[in-house]
Chain A
């Protein structure tokens, strides 16, 4: 189980930036999702009120997680479900493998679950010879390519239809065309058999209801319903914080999550699973297991600067508005959670600033993520806090430390500041074109590599101001 990315962040970014198909696909998809979100949240009205309510409910749960998690565990058991606690990724996998062995399972079918991605279940299953099939169309596609998801909501965002068609034909020996209905119908045929034959169905859990011991899934395709209805055993993976107190609270998230994620008013299916099938039922899993995963989450609790990140409902809205994500796609973030949420969450979950502490630098700090977040997590503040910790730990590059020291000295004294700005303005004619600097010197290179830097104004604000204020004083009252 690797906790280190194969390449350093800068290298990952370089690869991503070089991939034009990827950039075009990511841009198109994020535009669509973001546009849908804006119009559907506007249509709902009072969006800020909804966000506040969402944030208050989630914060309340996280602040009282001991109570609500205790309540959930008790109620799942009351309904005859099996509860398992996994402190680490490895434990989560071990628990799942144990269930697989006990059930003598040969095949496992999964609907989308970020947590199972996070702990790397598939690899472990394959190692012991159990067939594991992802059934979400996007996940199915990238599984065939042997890749990881690159977006929380649209995992195969980076693949185009020709690549998909070729892959489908390669595995089936068929001669499919690249139109969407044909490709979809093929996946439907393939997967329908698998749903009916699998020994274990695996799902994620968008929300667990503490008061009733239920799990709730938001899906569009119906595969979430298949994996919980057809195989004899259902195992749900849940991050330990994904709780809300009662069904009544679910109304807020039914309104917030789909709109933020895809711009839908509601997802096609909101499925509530209250444990295994009941006496007399002829479908639904006969056995229900809930694996509650900590894997670094409890360390975020009580950390004033970051606790709120546990409010996240994994909608992906912050990815869609992030200029950096839009430019580099998901894989460059190196771990399961991409985009601004990934840049905040990964260093915390991994608890390893040395390896992951540079992720928060993959942000322009424009604040779009914070504005997009349906539960009002101050993502860009958290990115700054991460950077501060990174610097404090002495992990920032030497030249950067020196440069910032110089900056702060310059900024602290008006005289020095003025002088430096004058110097900068003198340099501009050598570097700028049409008011932008395209190739900056030294520490500006990181910036100008991917975008243009606005060149300093010919006259500083102070210089303009002294002139303007003179004019204003002389100009008298216009009204």
Chain B
């Protein structure tokens, strides 16, 4: 018997079974409490709720009606933060939005994750002033972004630069985080779970020094969310 089997056997014995349980046990408490699953917001409410929660944690959030407006907002942010060096996900939505030419026109350098060698990619992300992602989902209730990793959608882009800008469409908003979790269970069953899923709610924070809230210990200090209707 190897160590794994021995452990399972030991556990089974302690629980009064002669051998480890092979069949999925029945249960009636699954997921969130029932009343919570009934919680649903309309699209307008979701947008509002997301922005409120996101801003409550010092995040900047703006809602726009068109791609053209989105670029205007990005331009303003870039100027306010004086961004000169950025890195972004290699995502078709970002491509189509035209962020590259926008930042080029502002005299800033935009790098694209994955179009280069691994080692240098990490270094580039580490040196960049801002990272731009296209969120897979956003959760209205808590003001949370859900980012699924892949070759093009690196975790480093939302983590290493001191500023993180996430863009998404209003239709990507869900009410509760559990809605994304259910999708992850499905992806798991279909064999399509990415290596990393990150739920991000606000900037990196700590209260380890005398309870004094400090922002940006290891992750981004500033977070921006741009919602396109």
Contact = CB atoms under 8 A, between A and B. Distances in A.
Interface of A: 25, 28-29, 32, 46, 49-50, 52-53, 56-57, 60, 63-67, 69-70, 73, 83, 85, 87, 135-138, 141, 154-156, 160-161, 164, 180-181, 183-184, 187-188, 191-192, 195-196, 209, 211-212, 214, 220-223, 225-226, 228-230, 240, 245-252, 254-255, 262, 265-278, 280-284, 292, 294, 298-299, 301-302
A229 B208 contact: no
Contacts of A299: 14
Nearest to A56: B29
Contacts of A267: 201
Contact of A212 (B21, B31, B188): B188
B150 A281 contact: yes
A137 B209 contact: yes
Contacts of A230: 122, 156
A45 to B, nearest CB: 9
A327 to B, nearest CB: 18
Interface in B108-167: 113-114, 118, 121-122, 126, 142, 144, 149-151, 154-156, 159
Contacts of B97: none
A270 B202 CA distance: 12
Interface string B45-58: 00000000100010
Given A56-B29, A268-B201, A254 B210 contact: no
Interface residues of B, number: 78
Interface stretch (B5-13, B60-68, B71-79): B5-13
B59 to A, nearest CB: 11
A221 B217 contact: yes
A226 B159 contact: yes
9 contacts: A87-B3, A180-B212, A181-B214, A214-B188, A265-B201, A267-B201, A274-B193, A298-B10, A301-B15
B149 A281 contact: yes
A342 B181 CA distance: 32
Contacts of B12: 66
Interface in B1-57: 3-4, 6-8, 10-12, 14-17, 20-25, 27-33, 35-36, 53, 57
Contact of A46 (B28, B35, B210, B217): B35
B199 A137 contact: no
B171 interface: no
Contact of B208 (A156, A269, A273): A156
Contact of B150 (A85, A136, A280): A280
B228 interface: no
Interface in B193-221: 193-212, 214, 216-220
B178 A221 contact: no
Contacts of B94: none
Contacts of A262: 207
Contacts of B217: 137, 184, 187-188, 221-223
Given A269-B198, A283-B155, A254 B177 contact: yes
A302 B15 contact: yes
Nearest to A302: B14
B106 interface: no
B155 A294 contact: no
A138 B212 CA distance: 12
A226 B207 CA distance: 19
Nearest to B13: A302
A211 B188 contact: yes
Contacts of A247: 181-182, 184-185, 188
B200 A137 contact: no
B88 interface: no
Contacts of A250: 181
A340 B136 CA distance: 41
Given A50-B33, A67-B24, A284 B155 contact: yes
Contacts of A220: 204-206
B196 A284 contact: yes
Nearest to B153: A281
B118 to A, nearest CB: 5
B218 A226 contact: yes
Contacts of A275: 195
Contacts of B199: 266, 269-272
Nearest to B212: A180
Nearest to A209: B188
B7 A283 contact: no
A64 B21 contact: yes
A301 B10 CA distance: 10
B11 A65 contact: yes
Contact of A274 (B11, B181, B196): B196
A135 B218 contact: yes
Contacts of A255: 32, 36
Central interface residue in B4, B142, B159, B209, by most chain A CB within 10 Å: B209
Central interface residue in B11, B53, B57, B207, by most chain A CB within 10 Å: B11
Contacts of A281: 149-151, 154, 195
A221 B136 CA distance: 22
Contacts of A25: 210
A266 B32 contact: no
B173 to A, nearest CB: 16
A86 B33 CA distance: 35
A225 B198 contact: yes
Nearest to A225: B159
B193 A283 contact: no
Contacts of A246: 30-31, 185, 188
B190 to A, nearest CB: 11
Given A225-B155, A251-B176, A67 B214 contact: no
The 6 closest A-B pairs by CB, nearest first: A222-B219, A251-B178, A138-B208, A56-B29, A212-B188, A222-B218
A228 B149 CA distance: 13
